[in-house]
């Protein structure tokens, strides 16, 4: 119950503050409300040991262990009737495709062998919170961060890799709090969050100590700074994954903070095309 009570408090504060990644229409995990810290309500703590990492397709079907700030919990990811993961066949990576273009969305599950190809590494943000990020993604994020610093913006990770087990925890907590309808509307089904790839980063922009926010109704204190941030993404290999007005294609409302690493050349092509990743890959739902 303590956890649930804490989530309610954090949920209320997130809804009130609507800081970056705290929007009510937040992507795929309601990550803002799954925080384990009061100061940053969007942090998912990274697993402390590699046993929690998705080394294979088994991560979708076997019990995983994740470590939170102070406690270790074990979550079975297979038996929740409210999700579809137990009945979906786990896809594999097409050998010929660029792994950095892997599509994970509400209809495309994380390939089971994804982390046979890519590796995660850790980093800490300005608050000392540790995150797991795919290695090449992190290297390019550091370059992006330096680029933004040159125009007076601090760019910080507030969420990155999220295990399927932690996504299941989020789902279970929210189903208990608000019901299945809420999860269906706002929470990504475990296995179908882009954050499972380690290629997605939720970034917080800070100017002169002020966190820039964007609210669900469009209210923001950083319109120009978000625009500057978005304009620098492609040259560092990132795309803005959930652009404005594309929620019918991506499945998610506008998220100015959620960026996705696809590689520099891919990012430049996608950015120039004006297409979403789904459209670029020819995978947009009709």
Residues in the site for Zn ion, rule: CB under 5 A?
27, 202, 258
Q: Which residues contact 94 (CB under 8 A, 6 or more apart)?
A: none
Tell which residue, 71, 41, 33, has the closest CA to residue 175: 33
CB of residue 261 to Zn ion, shortest distance in Å: 12
φ and ψ of 123, to 5 deg: -150, 160
* d(C-alpha 85, C-alpha 109), whole Å: 9
Residue number, 32 or 77, with CB nearest to Zn ion: 32
Catalytic residue among 136, 255, 265, 278: 255
* d(C-alpha 32, C-alpha 99), whole Å: 28
3-state secondary structure of 72: strand
CB of residue 195 to Zn ion, shortest distance in Å: 6
Sign of CA dihedral 100, 101, 106, 107: negative
CB of residue 5 to Zn ion, shortest distance in Å: 25
* d(C-alpha 51, C-alpha 152), whole Å: 39
Q: Which residues contact 264 (CB under 8 A, 6 or more apart)?
A: 140, 234, 235, 236, 237
CB of residue 209 to Zn ion, shortest distance in Å: 24
Residue number, 57 or 129, with CB nearest to Zn ion: 129
Question: Which residue number places its CB atom closest to Zn ion?
Answer: 258
Kindly write down the DSSP assignment for every residue of 157-179, as one continuous string: EEE----HHHHHHHHHHHHHHH-
Residue number, 30 or 258, with CB nearest to Zn ion: 258
Helix (H) or strand (E) holding 54: none
Q: For the packed helices 223-233 and 135-149, what is the interaxial angle rounded to 10 degrees?
A: 130
CB of residue 257 to Zn ion, shortest distance in Å: 7
Residue number, 10 or 57, with CB nearest to Zn ion: 10
Tell which residue, 232, 100, 110, 120, has the closest CA to residue 164: 110
DSSP state, residue 251: S
Q: For the packed helices 164-178 and 2-17, what is the interaxial angle rounded to 10 degrees?
A: 90
Active site residue 265: no
Residue number, 196 or 258, with CB nearest to Zn ion: 258
Residue number, 26 or 57, with CB nearest to Zn ion: 26
CB of residue 280 to Zn ion, shortest distance in Å: 19
Catalytic residues: 255
């Amino acid at each position: 119950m303590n956890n649930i009570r804490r989530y309610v408090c954090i949920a209320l504060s997130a809804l009130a503050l609507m800081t970056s990644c705290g929007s009510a229409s937040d992507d795929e995990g309601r990550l803002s409300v799954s925080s384990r810290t009061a100061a940053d309500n969007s942090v998912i703590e990274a697993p402390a040991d590699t046993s929690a990492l998705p080394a294979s397709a088994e991560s979708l079907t076997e019990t995983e262990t994740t470590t939170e700030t102070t406690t270790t919990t074990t979550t079975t990811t297979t038996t929740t009737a409210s999700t579809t993961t137990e009945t979906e066949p786990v896809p594999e990576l097409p050998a010929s495709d660029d792994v950095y273009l892997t599509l994970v969305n509400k209809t495309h599950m994380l390939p089971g062998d994804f982390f046979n190809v890519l590796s995660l590494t850790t980093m800490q943000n300005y608050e000392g919170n540790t995150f797991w990020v795919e290695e090449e993604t992190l290297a390019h994020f550091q370059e992006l961060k330096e680029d933004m610093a040159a125009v007076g913006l601090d760019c910080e990770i507030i969420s990155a890799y999220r295990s399927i087990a932690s996504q299941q925890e989020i789902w279970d907590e929210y189903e208990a709090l608000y019901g299945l309808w809420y999860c269906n509307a706002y929470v990504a089904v475990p296995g179908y969050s882009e954050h499972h790839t380690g290629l997605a980063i939720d970034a917080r922009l800070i100017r002169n100590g002020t966190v820039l926010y964007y609210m669900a109704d469009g209210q923001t204190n950083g319109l120009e700074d978000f625009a500057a941030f978005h304009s620098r993404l492609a040259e560092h290999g990132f795309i803005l994954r959930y652009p404005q007005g594309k929620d019918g294609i991506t499945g998610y409302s506008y998220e100015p903070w959620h960026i996705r690493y696809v590689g520099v050349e891919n990012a430049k092509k996608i950015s120039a095309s004006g297409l979403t990743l789904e459209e670029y890959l020819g995978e947009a739902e009709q």
